Amino acid sequence: MTNISFDNPGFLYFLLAVPAMIAFYVLRQQKTSAAITLPGLRQLSGTGKTFRNTLRHLLFGLRTAAVALLIIVLARPQSTDRFQDVSTEGIDIMLAIDISGSMLARDFKPDRLEASKDVATEFISGRPYDRMGLVVFSGESFTQCPLTTDHAVLVNLMREIQSGMIEDGTAIGMGLATAINRIRESEAKSKVIILLTDGVNNRGEVAPATAAGIAKTFGIRVYTIGVGSQGTAPYPVQTPFGLQYQNMQVEIDEEILKEIANTTGGKYFRATDNNKLMEVYNEIDQLEKSKIDVKQFTRKEEEYLLPALIAFFILAAEIFINYILLRKLT
């Protein structure tokens, strides 16, 4: 953005003399016209506005304009450009989300999985400078989206996940190991995994504690989230009459989730409803801040040359009219 300022603004007060000059000139012309107007010379009144008189008025106008421009030159007008250099140091974040059948429990609205997808989507949208990816797991695990800065693609792939995509179960260790494999070679200074589950590890070839040790080796912090209300919750159960919901005891392996977080320098959270889940992601967002450096530069350029040149040509025109053109008309 370009702004005009003056290095010597005090000189601008002299511009107040310009209206005074014009007023004095007009009054003097009126007195002169009154002095030469005689009753016997009415026939000569039509010759007052001759070409010569017009040139004299033009001379005054040029002289006044030159004075105003020279005052502006003395005030030293300058253009100021301000611009910013923004550099960011983003964080690499892998989201590991449980999509087992129990994630369809309706102690969250509309259920645990949809609530987790909605909150994670908002989390993604709030971190434009980070590379983020998505791993899903139940009885097995796979990468739904590798690390990317194209958050629109990530959000679309997030919306596509649903329970039943892979064999049912809860393989926490496998989900964590897959996320580690996707982020371990990252050159980012901060590498984070957010693992969300609602159950107890009962499948997979990799133990959660083993995966946590691997994460620590690669300098990856793991934040773990246990989702589920306290006590009982309506779980989906397949019956001869179709899918029905029955209240069942909520079981979350909080001890192993705490161990994963403690081992890797992260933190364990328990989310018991939609609002609490949102608060958990907000807290993680505050804990893992991207580094943004903003450097502001100011560049000034002198702008007095143009008004100085205009004043020079005006004075040259005045000299030409006064000493050449008017003398020829005499």
The amino acid occupying position 255 is E
Strand partners, 301: 79
Rounded to whole angstroms, how far apart are CA atoms 178 and 104?
23
Q: Clarify whether residues 62 and 144 are in a common domain.
A: no
CATH number of domain containing 109: 3.40.50.410
pLDDT of residue 175: 96
Residue 270 in tokens: 């328990």
Rounded to whole angstroms, how far apart are CA atoms 129 and 180?
21
Residue 296: inside a domain: no
Rounded to whole angstroms, how far apart are CA atoms 92 and 19?
66
Supply the pTM of this predicted model: 0.66
- What is the rounded (10 degree) CA torsion for 16, 19, 20, 26? 170
Rounded to whole angstroms, how far apart are CA atoms 257 and 59?
90
Q: Clarify whether residues 9 and 99 are in a common domain.
A: no
Q: Clarify whether residues 280 and 210 are in a common domain.
A: yes
Q: Clarify whether residues 267 and 325 are in a common domain.
A: no
Residue 86: inside a domain: no
Q: Clarify whether residues 185 and 211 are in a common domain.
A: yes
Rounded to whole angstroms, how far apart are CA atoms 259 and 265?
10
Q: Clarify whether residues 47 and 153 are in a common domain.
A: no
pLDDT of residue 55: 77
Q: Clarify whether residues 67 and 177 are in a common domain.
A: no
pLDDT of residue 79: 85
| Contacts of 191 by beta carbon, 8 Å cutoff, 6+ apart | 91, 92, 183, 184, 218, 219, 220, 221
Query: With left for phi above 0 and alpha for psi between -120 and 50, is residue 135 left, alpha or beta?
Result: beta
Q: Clarify whether residues 205 and 65 are in a common domain.
A: no
Rounded to whole angstroms, how far apart are CA atoms 53 and 32?
12
The amino acid occupying position 274 is N
| Contacts of 124 by beta carbon, 8 Å cutoff, 6+ apart | 132, 151, 154, 155, 158
Question: Pairing state of beta strands 220-227 and 232-239?
Answer: unpaired
pLDDT of residue 85: 63
pLDDT of residue 80: 80
Per-residue pLDDT of the chain (330 residues; tens, 9 = 90+): 568 888 888 888 888 888 888 888 888 877 776 655 545 444 444 444 567 777 778 888 888 888 899 999 998 888 887 766 666 677 999 999 999 999 999 999 999 999 999 999 999 999 988 999 999 999 999 999 999 999 999 999 999 999 989 999 999 999 999 999 999 989 888 999 999 999 899 998 999 999 999 999 999 999 999 999 989 999 988 888 888 889 999 999 999 999 999 999 999 999 999 999 999 999 999 988 766 665 666 778 888 888 899 989 988 888 888 777 777 665
Work out the burial of residue 211: count CB atoms within 10 Å of its CB; fewer than 13 is exposed, 13-18 middle, 19 or more buried.
Answer: buried
Residue 179 lies in domain: 91-289
Rounded to whole angstroms, how far apart are CA atoms 127 and 290?
8
pLDDT of residue 292: 60
